Structure 1
Amino acid sequence: MFSTNGRFVFYICWLLTISAANTRIKTLPTKQFPREFSFGAATAAYQIEGAWDVDGKGPSIWDYLVHTDPGHITDKSNGDIADNSYYNYKRDIEMLRELGVSHYRFSISWTRILPFGRANYVNQRGIDYYNKLIDELIANDIVPFTTIYHWDLPQILQEHGGWMNEKIVDWFGDYARILFQNFGDRVKLWTTINEPFVHCYFSYGYGVHPPRIRSPGVQFYECGRQILLANARAYHIYNDEFRSTQGGKVGIGLNSEHVFPASDSKDDIEGAKDYLAIHFGQYMHPIFSKSGNYPQRMIHRVQAASTAQGHNSSRLRGFNREQITYIKGSADFLGLNHYYTKYVYRNSSVIGVFEVPSMDDDAFADSYLDQSWPSSHAPWIREYGPGLHHLLVHIKDTYGNPLVYITENGVSTTAGLNDHTRVSYYRSYLSAVLEALAEGCNVQGYFAWSLMDNYEWSHGYTHRFGLYEVDWEDPERTRTPRKSAFVYREIIRSRTIDYNYNPDPYAGSTSTITSSLLVLVIVVLAGLIS
C-alpha cells in the first residue's frame, strides 16, 4: 500500500504523464480514430494454447502432422506447449489490459470441445476452460471476439474425408451450435472460419499444411465450396436458434492482399481482376454480393481452362439456386485479414509457369512484391500501408460497404524488443485505416496480429509476429512487451498516430522523455516531503 506521501507522489507523476501525453497530441494532425472504433489483438488456439492432450482434448490434424512427420516443419518443432496459454491465460489477459485494447480475438479448439469431432460427446473440461477465459476477459472489460474454426480440424474427421466429405457441413454446424449454446450468452461477436482461401490453398492445393493433399485444380475448389456451405450452416443456425435471445453477430474471416496491375496494358488489368476474383472473390462474392454465387469471371476462367484440358465439365463444382440463396448474406460482417500488396501481370512469361490444372493456371496471372517497399523477416511481406486503404475502398464500392473488422494485420521480425520494423508497419497500416474511414468505409475495428509470438504453422517458431516477445526457453514462457506494444498502446489511448513517439522497451516505460521527467519530479518531491 502507498503511504499518504507516496500516494501524493504517485498522483503528481500521473498528472505529469497525462500532461506530457496531451502536449504530444496537440502537435499532431486532427485526424483521429472515432471513440467507438474497436482496437484489439488476435491469436489462435493451436498457435498459443499448448496442452495438446490435456483434460480430454483429442488430436487435431496439426497434432497428427507434427508427431508423425516433424521434419515437415521448418525447425522440427510442434505446438504441444507453444505459449502455454492453457495455463497462462490470465497473463495473456493482463497483457491485453496493459495494451488498453477493448477486444480480444481468440479461437476455440474443436477437439478441446469435441475430442472425437462429432457432437455426440462434449468434453466438459474443454467447456470449462473457455468459460474461464471468457469470464476473465469480461471481468477485465475486454470483449471476447471468438473464432469457431482456425485450421485445427479433428484428425478423426480428416480420416473420414475432412473438407472433402459433404457431411462436414453438418459436423461443423453441430460444433458451432454447441459453442453458441455454451458461450453465446457472453460472446456477441463470432467468426465462423478463418482464411478459407489460405486453408484450402495450403491443405488441399499444394500440400504444405495437413492433410497435405496436392490438388490445386480440383480439391482446392471443393474445399472452398464446403467451407462456404459450412459457414452458411453456422450462420443460419445462429440466426434461427440464437439471435433473438443472444443478440450477437456472426461473420467470416477472409484474407486478401490488394493487387495493382503491373502496367496499364489490357492484359495486366484483366489479369489483376481475374487474380483477385479467385483469391478474394471466390469467398467474398457468394456471401456479400447482391447476386451471390462465384464471380462470373472466375466461373468463366475455370470453365475455359477445364474445357481446354479435355474435361467434360468445369473443375469448379457450382451451386444450385437454393444453395446460392442459402450462402448469400450469410455473414453479419467481414473479418478482413490483410498483410501485403502485390503487382499482377499477364504476359508471355506466364506461359508454362503454373501446375496444370491449378487455380494459379486458371487465373493465368502472376504476381510480385515491389522490392522498394520495406522488407520484413517474412519474405512474403513488405510494408505498403496504402494497399489496405485501396482494398477497403474496393470492398466498399464493390460490395455495398459491409461492416468490416480488420481481424489480422501484422509483420514478422526476429527476436528482440526494439522491433522498429513492426512499429513502422503498424503506423503505416493504421494510417491507411484512417484514410479509409475518412472515405466512408464501414470499418469498425482493428486487431493486431499477434498479441504475442506464437507457433507459425509450418514455419514453427522461426517467425515472430508478437507485440510481446515470448521466451520459449523459459518453462514459464515469459512474455515481454516490445517497442511496438508501447506504440500500439499509445495509439489506442490517444486515438492518433504520433510518429515522434519513441518509447524505450528496455526501460519498461511509455516514453523515454516522460520517464526521465518523472524520475526528476520524484526525486525533487521526495526531497521536499522529507
Structure 2
Amino acid sequence: MRKKEDVFSRNDFLWGSGTAAYQCEGAWDADGKGLGEWDYFNHNSALNIHNEDGDNASNFYYDYEKDINLMAEGSQNAYRFSISWARIMPTGYGEVNQQGIDFYNRVINYCLEKGIEPNVTLFHYDLPYELARQGGWLNHKITDYFNEYAKICFEAFGDRVKMWSTINEPRYYSYCTNIVGNYPPNRRLDFQSYFQYQYNLMIASSKAIRSFKEMGLDGYIGVVHDNGHVELDPDTINPDEVYEMADFFYNTLILEPSLLGKLPDNLEKMKQKYGFMILHDINEEEIFREGVGNYIGINLYNRQYVKHWEEGESEVFHNNKGTRSNSLEGIRLESLFESSFDPHVRRNKWGREVNPRVMYTGLMELKEKYNNPLILVTENGHGIYESPDENDYVEDNERIEIFSEFLDNLLKAKKEGADVRGYYHWSTMDLYSWINGYEKRYGLVRVDFEDNYKRTPKKSYYWFKDFINNYYSNNRNG
C-alpha cells in the first residue's frame, strides 16, 4: 500500500496538469453513469448559448492512456482530475455503479504505472441531476449525500490515491450558479443562495475530511479555492471597510473553515451588510473544527481589483462570448463596493485580467494570513483562440509568455518561504470550457474534435517539459 510520504519521496515538487470529469471524459451515458445536471442543462436549456455539450468532450473516457502517456513523456509527475459523482452513484445516493469505480481504478493505476501522482477531486461542478432536482446545494441533505459518496471513493481508491481535493472552487461555483447565472440552475444576483451554497459546500467538505480521518486514511486532503486576492484601487474611499467586505465576498467563507476550522468572526456583521441569512447546521462548530484539511489548493488566474461603490444598482459583468462581446469581468454591489478596471493590466479575450504578478502576491497573502499552509497551485493557465498549422501544430507563444511569468512569480514566492509544493497547468489537453464551449482553448495538447480526437502537443507542451527538466537539473546541481 502506498503511503502519504510517497507523494514527495521522488520529487520535492509536483509539476503537472489538470482536467475535470465533465469537461474531458465524454461517455456521458456509458457504462451505468447517471444523468448529470450539466447533461440536462446542455441538452435542454436555451441558456446553453453556444449549443455545445460535454457528451463526448475530449474522449478521455476512452483515450485516457494516450493523455497519461503524453503527461509522462512531457516530464509531468502529477495529474489532477475529478471524479464524476453520477458515474459512481447514478442518482447521487444509494446505488453504487461498479463500472464507474472500475474506470477510475484503471485511470489511477495507469497514472501510477507511468510515475504520475494522481490528485483526485471529488466534486468539480457536475452535480447528479437527481440531486439538482431536489434543490441541489440549497438542500442540506446533500451534505450527507456528499459525505457518503466521499467515503465510497476513499474506500475504493484510498489505498493508492494520496492527494485528495474535496470540492473545486466552492466560492466561484456558487458565484456562477447564483450571481452570474451562467451555470445551472442559472440564478442571477441571488445573494441569499450565493452565501448559503458556500456554507453548505463547506459543511459537506468538512464532513468528508472528518470521515477521511475517522477511516484512518493516509494522505493529503483539502479544499480547492479560486484565488480571490483583493487589491484596492488607490482612490478607494473607506479602504478598510471596502477591503473587509470584498475579502468576505471572495475568500473568507471558504478559507477560514478550510484552514482555521471555523466560520469568519465577522459573519454576523456581513449578514447585515449583504442582507442574507444562513440556515446553520446545529453541529457546525464540531464539523468545521474536525474538518480541517492538511493543505489548500489554489486556482490562480487573477486578482479582485475593487473600489468603493459609486452609483448604480447591483450588476454583474461577465463575458462568455469572447470577441463577440466587449464586457469586462467584474461586479457592482449597490452600497458596498464595485470592481475597478485598471487600464494598464492586460485582459484576455473574455474580459478577465491577465496579471501574473498575482501568483506571488496571492501565495504570500496565504502565507502571512493563514500560518503558511501547505499550498498546491491546482489550476493556472491562459485561455486563447488558436489556429493550428497544416500538421495540427499550434505555436501558442502568447500562452508561453504568460505561463513563464506566472511560474517566475511562483518560484519567487517559494523562495521567500511560501510552502507551495505543486503546480498543475490548466489544462492537460483541450476540453469543454463549460459555458464557453470548445473555441476557448487551454490545453498543452491540441485536440482535434473533428478528427477522432487526435492529440497533438503544442509548443507550450514542449516548453513546459523543458522548464520541468531544468528545474530538477538546477535543484540537483544547486
Greater share of strand residues, 1 or 2? Answer: 2
Q: Is the 8 A contact 1:354 1:360 kept in 2?
A: yes
Structure (1 or 2) with the larger CA radius of gyration: 1
1:266-415 equivalences in 2 (<5 Å): 266-289=237-260, 292-296=262-266, 298-306=267-275, 314-317=276-279, 322-328=283-289, 330-349=292-311, 351-354=312-315, 361=333, 364-380=336-352, 382-415=353-386
Greater share of helix residues, 1 or 2? Answer: 1
Structure 2 residue 57 is matched with structure 1 residue 87: no
Tell me which residue corresponds to 1:196. Answer: 170
1:396-475 equivalences in 2 (<5 Å): 396-416=367-387, 417-474=394-451
Q: Across the two proteins, how many residue pairs are aligned to each other?
A: 444
Tell me which residue corresponds to 1:37. Answer: 13
TM-score in terms of structure 1 length: 0.80
Deviations 1:327-382, CA, capped at 9 Å, x for gaps = 14521110100111242110423x43448xxx9637821113433333333321x3
Post-superposition shift, 1:35? 5.2
Q: SS at the partner of 1:281?
A: helix
Tell me which residue corresponds to 2:471. Answer: 495
Taking every aligned residue pair, what percent have the same amino acid on both sides? 33
Taking the aligned partners of 1:319 and 1:391, their CA distance within structure 2 comes to 31
Deviations 1:474-511, CA, capped at 9 Å, x for gaps = 1x20111111111111111111899xxxxxxxxxxxxx
Structure 2 residue 72 is matched with structure 1 residue 97: yes
Deviations 1:427-476, CA, capped at 9 Å, x for gaps = 111111111112111101000000111101111112101111111111x2
Show structure 2 runs of 5+ residues with no match. 1-9, 317-330, 388-393
Post-superposition shift, 1:383? 2.5
TM-score in terms of structure 2 length: 0.88
Q: Is the 8 A contact 1:285 1:295 kept in 2?
A: no
Taking the aligned partners of 1:395 and 1:362, their CA distance within structure 2 comes to 29
Moved more, 196-205 or 442-451: 196-205
Post-superposition shift, 1:317? 4.3
Taking the aligned partners of 1:154 and 1:423, their CA distance within structure 2 comes to 37
Post-superposition shift, 1:264? 5.7
Tell me which residue corresponds to 1:61. Answer: 37
In structure 2, what residue type is equivalent to 1:465? Y
Deviations 1:62-112, CA, capped at 9 Å, x for gaps = 00001112x423321110001000000010101111221111000000111
1:197-212 equivalences in 2 (<5 Å): 197-212=171-186
Taking the aligned partners of 2:148 and 2:277, their CA distance within structure 1 comes to 29
Q: SS at the partner of 1:348?
A: coil
Taking the aligned partners of 1:478 and 1:436, their CA distance within structure 2 comes to 38
Considering only aligned residues, what root-mean-square deviation do their CA atoms show, in Å? 2.2
Tell me which residue corresponds to 1:76. Answer: 51
Structure 2 residue 207 is matched with structure 1 residue 233: yes
Q: Is the 8 A contact 1:39 1:103 kept in 2?
A: yes
Q: Is the 8 A contact 1:106 1:147 kept in 2?
A: yes
Q: Is the 8 A contact 1:148 1:176 kept in 2?
A: yes
Taking the aligned partners of 1:135 and 1:75, their CA distance within structure 2 comes to 36
In structure 2, what residue type is equivalent to 1:442? D
Taking the aligned partners of 2:459 and 2:200, their CA distance within structure 1 comes to 42
- Aligned in 2, Cα 1:323/1:383: closer, same or farther, shift over 3 Å? same
Post-superposition shift, 1:159? 1.2
Taking the aligned partners of 2:460 and 2:52, their CA distance within structure 1 comes to 27
Structure 2 residue 88 is matched with structure 1 residue 117: no
Taking the aligned partners of 2:332 and 2:165, their CA distance within structure 1 comes to 28
Taking the aligned partners of 2:137 and 2:274, their CA distance within structure 1 comes to 24
